[in-house]
Structure formats: structure tokens, C-alpha cells
Chain A
Amino acid sequence: MLIKGHVYKFGDNINTDVIYPGKYLSITADREEMAKHCFEAVHPEFLKNAKPGDIIVGGKNFGCGSSREQAATCLKYFGIRAVVAETFARIFYRNAINLGLPVIIAPGITQQVEHKDDIEIDLLTGIIKNMRTNEIIEAKKLPDFILEIVTNNGLIPYLKKKLGISSN
């Protein structure tokens, strides 16, 4: 499963308050509306410059802080294809997987990829290619169980299948 996209790059410890400000937590159902507030307070330029189809590259501890699922939901519904980071905080990591937003742990990625580079991620092998430099980055391959949830577009379709509930 190949994911290609333009890199939007961030630094270390990007927390979920920064990704999705607390004042919008009262939005609980409208996912398109959540997407309008990604990074709004601290990095307002994101909403101007990022494009659907982009891949976010982050440093250490991406998604630390609050458990708010809106932080992963807003990125997915903005159209972010995947998030690649040196490391992730655990709840954001789980939320992204459970929403079917691919998250890839790639130590060294911030050294090898620059803002606006084009990269290609092979989810099955964990191999990332920087199309500008042709460099190969070996990310951590997702465990099979997690890959199954991500490729089923998240936990809900996965559970429906498991519980024998039809998708219609």
C-alpha cells in the first residue's frame, strides 16, 4: 500500500492542544468542521499553506498531551494522508490508527526529509523514499494487527466485520 504526498514539517513535542485547540472541543460530531481548526491558534499558517493529500512529518513525541480524538480526526478530515514522526505519544498514535489515519514511526526522519519534499511511504514494509534526494528511510513496520485496522479504514469498519454487522 503506497502513500505519496507533499511534506508539511513540524518539530518536536507537537501537542494535541496545538493541533486542535480546546475551545473547539464542543464540536463532537461534525468532522468537516473540526478540520477547519487544525493548528489554528498556534500555527495558523497551516490552514493557508497545507493541502489535502499532504503528509505531516513531525519530530519526537508527536501528539503528546490530551486524549482528544479531534486532534487525529481534524487531520484526517483535512485530507492529511499520513503522519510520520520520530516518535508519537501513545494516545494520539492509537487514535490515528483507530480512525484509519496511517501513523509511521521513523527515527531519523526529520534529518532526511525537508518541508515540501515529496515522499512515498510503503505501509506494508515501512520503507519511505524521499523523491527529491532518492534517500531511503527505514521506518518501523506496523504490527500486522495494527496494519489490519489501518487498512480497514479504522476500528469501526474492523469491528463491524468482526461482529458480523453489515456496512450498509
Chain B
Amino acid sequence: MNKTIAEKILAKASGKKVVSPNEIVMARVDVAMSHENADVVLRSFNEIGVKKVWDKERIVILFDHRIPADSERTAATHRRLRAFVKEQQIKHFYDLKEGICHQVLVEFGHDLPGEVLVGTDSHTTTHGAFGTFATGIGATEMAGVWATGELWLRVPESIKINVSGKFKPCVTAKDLILHIIGILGADGANYQAVEFHGEIISHMTIASRLVLSNLSMEMGAKVAFVPPDEQTIAYLKQRTDKHFQVILPDQDVEYSGELNVDVSSLTSQVACPHSVDNVKPVSEVTGLKIDQALIGSCTNGRLEDLAAAAEILEGKTVHPDTRLLVIPASRRVYLEALHEGYIEIFVRAGGLLLNPGCGPCLGAHQGLLAPEEVCLATTNRNFKGRMGSPEAFIYLASPATVAASALKGEITEPC
């Protein structure tokens, strides 16, 4: 056999023996996640005219994009969805206290190898870090999933990314994936599956693997797999007692593309305005003054990210011309960071702690930018106007780079 992970999972999900790239299949969905935009889904669901959702145990609804409600309108969305959850007896509902969808799903064991997980959020690729066929979809097609439990998917070609070497100090998964996006471009993996391979990937923590799969969306990937290994299985066993089947690629797969990356000489990277593939070494933008430093998001708001930032900020003070915002990705991450003393370090350093959630990343509220302001963020998009004014500038980097830069008030190497 010579099948990729994507082909094997889609064959299983569509009840076929084999499927090949470019084929369109009807795939059965194992997990269907929506956040506030479940309200958009709901409108389409009501238009279809089905009374009951197809499976109340497979739908996940949570709030993270605009929490607590940024407006009366959002408050009404939250209220409508709470009522819908009750009415339909949706089993997995996480109200605004829990955190960002791409961390909450992980923590509560919703990501299982070999399954199909769809979410009305583009960064749903994150969950491919567990070998899950996880992809972002739109609201109307989610309504179709709520009604029927299946959706059409084109079987993607697959790109293999082989990573070798050893990271220098302070260089992280974020720097690696920014570097890869810089090479492949914003549409370099469009419509395609990505598989990350190499010894360094198997040594990476789950949190770091999630960064790779999360940001693969920014090169257009449909799904981004880290093949499950013993670490994946051990991690999942602590979070779920559900049965799952690990699906790995065959040995003799012919990939549509291959990229080899040796990280040994890689330095800290930064994505410059206004696109995520405009990637440069931090050394090329050193000295650029920053008004806001932001640590958080579904990309880099996990415990190891906060730990990296805390290590740099401990006993120091953020530059007086820079404001530092810190957003733990979830309530659990927040509690663990409290326990480890990181939160105290941030507050003593002059950082402002925001509640777990998406924060200002998507430009809805909390910490938006004025014209001409510069923000250095650990988030995932630096599009023009993404975080407030279209005349502001957003740079993306690792938690270590953002923390070190917050101290200096300008972009700087973390070590």
C-alpha cells in the first residue's frame, strides 16, 4: 500500500476501501466544533428545517471569540446558543469560562487519531497534531453536518515536511513553522495535507506540535498531521477513555511535494506586515519600537509558552512605552500558570492579564491598535486591519521573542 494519512482517514470516513487525491467523498464526521459562529450555523440549520441535530454527543459548542460579551449583540448570541444547547441536549458545551476552542478540545480529549474533526474556525488544523483529520469549514456546511453528520471533502494531495537537526537555545516550534511558511508561501500548501516527519518532531512536546499544525493553516493547508506516537497515546490516555485507531502513512507513499528543513542553523523568526509569509530573521528587524506586546492565542497561549515568557520576564519590568498583554489559552492553563508562579511574574513585570479567550487577535475587542501603532504578537495573523486600525502594523514571533522585546520596547533576539 502507498497511502497517506489523509487518504486512509477519508477512506475510513467515507466507507470506501481506498480513495485517491482529487476524489470528492462524503465523509462521516466524528466531532463538529463551533464557537460563537454557531449562531451563524444555527440560522442555516433552522433554514434546512431539520428539528433535531444528527448526534448530540458529537457536537461541541463553546465561547471564546468575544468573551465576556463585547456587545449586546454578542450577549444575545451567547444567550441564544445556551438555549439551543439545552433544547438539543448538546453534551459537550463549554461556556465562556473555559478558554480557546483549540486548547479546550485538546484538554477535554476530543482530538482522536484517525477521526474526522471539523470546526467552523480556520485554525481547526491544530488538531492534526494528534493524527486527527481536522479542518476548518464554513457555517452553512456545519449546519449540513448538524443535520446529516456528513459533508463533502476533496481528498487532498499530501506534502511531506522532513525536519532534522537540533534547535539552538530560544528557537522554538513557532520559529520553525514561520520559517516553513516563509519558504512555501501563504498558498504553498493550499488544498493539501501536510505531514510533519523527523526525529525532532517526535521529541517535541504536544504543545509544540500543536503550534506546527495550527500555523500550517497560514500556508493554506487543509489538514496538518503529526503522525501519532507513544507520546500522543500517553497524552490522550490521560484525557479520554474512548477507543481510537492510530492511522499512520504507508512507507512507500509518493508525496506531491517534499521539503527538508534542518533547524540547526535556524534563528528566531518574525512574520512582518501584512502577510504571514513575509518572514525574516529577528536580526533583520531588531530595534523596531513596539507599542504592544501580546502573548497568547490558539497558537502560543499554552503553559510552555507562558513558561518561556516568564523565564525572560522574571524580576524585570516591561519597557514604559510598551504595554504587555498576556492571555492564557484556557482556564486550566491559567490555573497551572498561577500554580507555577508565572502569573505573578507577569503582573510584577507590568503585564496586563486578560481572561482566557481569543482576545484582540481577530480584532473584535480587548487591546485593539491605533493607526501607526506596532504590535509584536505570538498570534497567527498579521493581516492589515486584523487587530484594529488598518494603519497599524502587526509582527508575529515566538513567546520568548515577544517577552524579550517587551522588556526592551523594541524587537530583539530572545537570547
A159 near B: Cβ within 8 Å?
yes
Instruction: Name the contact of A17 in the complex, choosing from B140, B148, B383 (C-beta under 8 A).
Output: B383
Q: Complex formed: what's the CA distance from A20 to B87 in Å? A: 32
- Bound together, the chains give a CA A40 to CA B275 distance in angstroms of 19
Inter-subunit contact B48/A72 (CB<8 Å): no
- In the complex, chain A residues whose CB is within 8 Å of the CB of B71: 26
Q: Closest CB-CB distance, B389 to chain A, in whole Å?
A: 8
**Contact with B220, one of A21, A64, A66 (Cβ below 8 angstroms):** A64
Taking a contact as CB atoms closer than 8 A, the residue among A26, A41, A91 that contacts B385 in the complex is A41
Contacts A25-B362, A90-B191, A91-B138 given; indicate if A67 touches B122 (C-beta within 8 A): yes
A65 to B50, CA, bound (A): 31
Q: A67-B120, A67-B122 are in contact. Are A72 and B49 (CB under 8 A)?
A: no
Q: How far is the CA of A98 from the CA of B399 in the complex (A)?
A: 38
A13 CA to B43 CA, complexed, in Å: 29
Interchain nearest-CB distance for B161 vs A (Å):
19
Closest Cβ of chain B to A74, distance in Å, is 12
Q: Which residues of B contact A94 (CB under 8 A)?
A: 137-138, 141
Name the one of B147, B364, B390 contacting A159, with C-beta atoms under 8 angstroms: B147
Decide yes or no whether A110 CB sits under 8 A from chain B. no
Q: Which of B349-396 contact A (CB under 8 A)?
A: 362-364, 381, 383-386, 390
The reply to whether the CB of A151 lies closer than 8 angstroms to some CB of chain B is: no
Q: Is the CB of B47 within 8 A of A18?
A: no
What separation, in Å, do the CA atoms of A155 and B43 have in the docked complex?
A: 13
Encode contact with B along A66-77: 1 for CB under 8 Å, 0 otherwise: 111110100000
> Chain B contacts of A143 at CB under 8 A?
24
Assess whether B37 is in contact with A68, with CB atoms less than 8 Å apart: yes
Bound Cα distance A29, B383 (Å): 25
**Chain B residues positioned under 8 Å from A146 (CB to CB):** 24
Q: Which of B47, B73, B186 is the one whose CB lies under 8 Å from A27?
A: B73
A17 touches B363 (CB 8 A): yes
Pick from B40, B70, B220, B381 the residue with the most CB of A within 10 Å.
B40
- Which of A25, A87, A91, A163 is in CB contact (< 8 Å) with B136? A91
Contact A28 B48 (CB under 8 A): no
For B117, what are the chain A residues with a Cβ–Cβ distance below 8 Å? none
B50 and A163 contact, CB distance less than 8 A: yes
B70 with A69: CB separation less than 8 A = no
A61 engages B385 (CB within 8 Å): no
Cβ–Cβ < 8 Å partners of B44 in chain A: 156
- Contact between A29 and B190 (Cβ–Cβ < 8 Å)? no
B321-339 contacts to A, CB under 8 A, are: none
Contacts of B381 in A (CB 8 A): 15, 17, 65-66
Judge if A23 is at the interface, Cβ distance under 8 Å.
yes
Nearest CB of chain B from residue A30's CB, rounded to whole Å: 10
Indicate if B77 sits at the interface (CB-CB under 8 A): yes
Q: Is the CB of A66 within 8 A of B139?
A: no
- Known contacts A17-B385, A21-B385, A67-B122; 15 additional CB pairs below 8 A are A18-B383, A22-B364, A26-B36, A28-B40, A61-B220, A64-B220, A65-B122, A67-B138, A68-B37, A69-B138, A87-B187, A91-B136, A95-B140, A98-B141, A165-B49
Instruction: Point out residues on A near B: beta carbons under 8 Å.
Output: 13, 15, 17-18, 21-23, 25-29, 41-42, 60-61, 64-70, 72, 87, 89-91, 94-95, 98-99, 143, 145-146, 154-156, 159-160, 163, 165
